[in-house]
Amino acid sequence: MALTLYNTLTRTKEEFVPANEKRVTMYVCGPTVYSRAHIGNARPPVVFDVLFRLLRRRYGEDAVVYARNITDVDDKINAAARAQQVPIKTITDKFEALYLEDMAALNVIRPTMDPHATTHIPQMIEMIQRLIQGGFAYEAEGHVLFNVPTYPDYGRLSNRNRDDMIAGARVEVAPYKRDPADFVLWKPSTDDLPGWDSPWGRGRPGWHIECSAMIRTHLGDSIDIHAGGQDLIFPHHENEIAQSVCATGKRLARYWLHNGFLSIDSEKMSKSIGNILLVSDILENGVPGEVIRFALLSAHYRQPLDWNDQLIDQSKRTLDRLYGLLRGADVAPAPDAPAAVVEALEDDLNTPLALAALAKLADERDLAGLKAGAALLGLLQQDAEQWFTGARAGAGIDAATIEARIAERAAAKKARDFATADRIRDELKAAGVALEDGPQGTTWKWA
Ligand code: AMP
Ligand code: ZN
């Protein structure tokens, strides 16, 4: 059966055909690490984790190369570092470790790679130089700007005309811009800000060029799938396309996927409303990570999803029922996921239909099929007994979470936040994990 995906670029559901079946490439814009992930931020990594699993099933584990970047230089990070009077790395190391911990709790597989913006500055500079040489970008007052009118296809992904775009980007009017739609590739840094030497003086990159440079470095000039939340379509992805196409002469990605937004009790999540719900808050309230994952997959990824108590209760009850069936039943998973589950997911990642197929397998007492189908969704992976008896309302601790906690503890120690480091050690101890600090770092074992 064909795998079909809705492509934002063509606004149609298309059959997915990779350029090279032996190296299927996928990139998802990752977090800016200056605060903890909220539940909306968890939606893209979870839904595209299902896509990653589906592609690995179809093309083989080693054939799929998935990169999810870490944005570790950004004005919001600078502001946080300044407020706390610490170097930016203290902030970014800490929040990256926390992000990985949250993702592990949601059973998100680590992508093949997680490139960091700060270790790709030379590649960004090289790309900007190409853009200047090609006449697509210009230097002005220590800034380098991409000149939007040089790329006639600009606006194609977001389907916007020029006026919409200028209004939508809330573009800064700056005297050095040739065109109001022009956007920053490089900007100058004052001495108190992080900066790197460049042909245009000491400065730092704009956000969009980071992704273009990291994609080019690790996945190539042209990739199969590029994904992210729908708010990234414009301007971020539109700008990535303009930069990459003009620098390389190749199309950046063939399939563009975007997830819909998550609201809380029917309201938009926002700082001003004060209803930002962190993944860690939900976990600390005793909701197992797997319940969160199930709830995130209960709606189709392109649809809006409302997060509320009923959704959590319903997800928990369903998992209780499924684990209840598996409890005490010593069944190995079937060698492959049942057709109904695969077909649902291969139809533009129809996770609600796949979950309905799991319910049907449960009704039919096809437990081997249930386990194999659930694995493709990253569900029902823990021991059923542990689900009911494990710590924290059923969420047992796994190796990925332990590793992530150890990384978080190391970051805390480095930041001389010994209270947090000790707390993590104690929490792991309570979960039955003993840590041992040595010259090579920290190792762990079950106590
Ligand atoms: P940010 O840190 O704001 O760049 O967001 C990281 C990712 O989360 C991006 O892919 C966003 O599109 C996505 N995102 C942010 N808020 C929401 C939300 N409420 N619902 C779904 N996705 C979101
Ligand atoms: Zn990006």
What pLDDT shows up at residue 393? 39
The rounded distance, in Å, linking the Cα atoms of 202 and 187 is 9
User: Whose Cα sits closest to atom 7 in ligand 1?
Assistant: 41
Q: What is the reported pTM?
A: 0.88
Q: Are strands 24-28 and 64-68 parallel, antiparallel or unpaired?
A: parallel
Q: Which residues surround ligand 2, an ion (CB under 5 A)?
A: 29, 211
Rounded average pLDDT over 123-140: 98
Give the model's confidence band at 439: pLDDT under 50 very low, under 70 low, under 90 confident, else very high.
Answer: confident
Q: Which residues pair with 435 in a beta bridge?
A: 444
**Rounded distance from Cα 7 to ligand 1 centre (Å):** 19
Q: Which of 27, 43, 102 to mutate to test the pocket of ligand 1 (most atoms within 8 A of CB)?
A: 43
pLDDT attached to residue 2: 96
Judged against a pLDDT cut of 90, whether residue 167 lies above it is answered with no
Of all protein residues, whose CA lies closest to atom 9 belonging to ligand 1? 229
Strands (E), 231-363: 253-259, 262-264, 267-268, 305-307
Spatial separation of the C-alpha atoms in residues 93 and 270, rounded to whole Å: 25
Is the model more confident about 434 or about 305? 305
C-alpha distance across the termini of the chain, in Å: 48
- Cα separation, 45 vs 48, in Å, equals 5
pLDDT value for 395: 47
Instruction: Find the range with the poorest average confidence among 84-93, 239-248, 330-339, 427-436.
Output: 427-436
> Whose structure tokens read 């299927």?
24
Nearest atom in ligand 1 to the alpha carbon of residue 29 is 10
Checking if the pLDDT of 152 tops 70, the result is yes
Instruction: Indicate the pLDDT class of residue 447, thresholds 50, 70 and 90.
Output: low
Q: Which tens digits make up the pLDDT trace of 197-251?
A: 999 999 999 999 999 999 999 999 999 999 999 999 999 999 999 999 999 999 9
Quick check: 394 pLDDT over 90? no
In what helix (H) or strand (E) does residue 67 lie, and over which residues does it extend? strand 64-68
What kind and span of H or E run contains 283? helix 279-284
The rounded Cα 14 to chain-centroid distance in angstroms is 23
Q: Is residue 145 within 8 Å of 328, Cβ to Cβ? A: no
Question: Three-state SS for 27?
Answer: strand
Q: Closest-lying ligand to the alpha carbon of 241?
A: 2
| 92 Cβ contact partners less than 8 Å away, ≥ 6 residues apart | 33, 34, 70, 72, 77
Token pair, residue 425, equals: 């050690």
Q: Residues 277, 30: contact at Cβ < 8 Å?
A: no
Give the other-Cβ count within 10 Å of 193's Cβ: 17
pLDDT the model gives residue 389: 80
Q: What percent of the chain has pLDDT over 90?
A: 82
> Contact, 255 vs 14, CB < 8 A?
yes
> Is the CA virtual torsion 191, 196, 201, 204 positive or negative?
negative
CA of 236 from ligand 2 middle (Å) equals 6
The structure tokens 């939508």 sit at 168
392 pLDDT band, cuts 50/70/90, is: very low
- Name the residue type at position 302: R
Q: Counting ligands in written order, which one lies closest to the CA of residue 44?
A: 1
Tokens at 49, concatenated: 């984790």
CA distances 435 to 18, 402, 405, Å, are: 44, 10, 11
Q: Is the peptide bond before 235 cis (omega within 30 degrees of 0)?
A: yes
In this predicted model, which residue has the larger pLDDT, 425 or 67?
A: 67
Q: Residues lining ligand 1, judged by CB closer than 6 Å?
A: 29, 31-32, 40-41, 43-44, 228-229, 231-232, 259, 261-262, 269
CA distance 58 to 348: 14
- Ligand 1 center from residue 160 Cα (angstroms): 21
How far is residue 188's CA from residue 198's CA, in Å, rounded to a whole number? 10
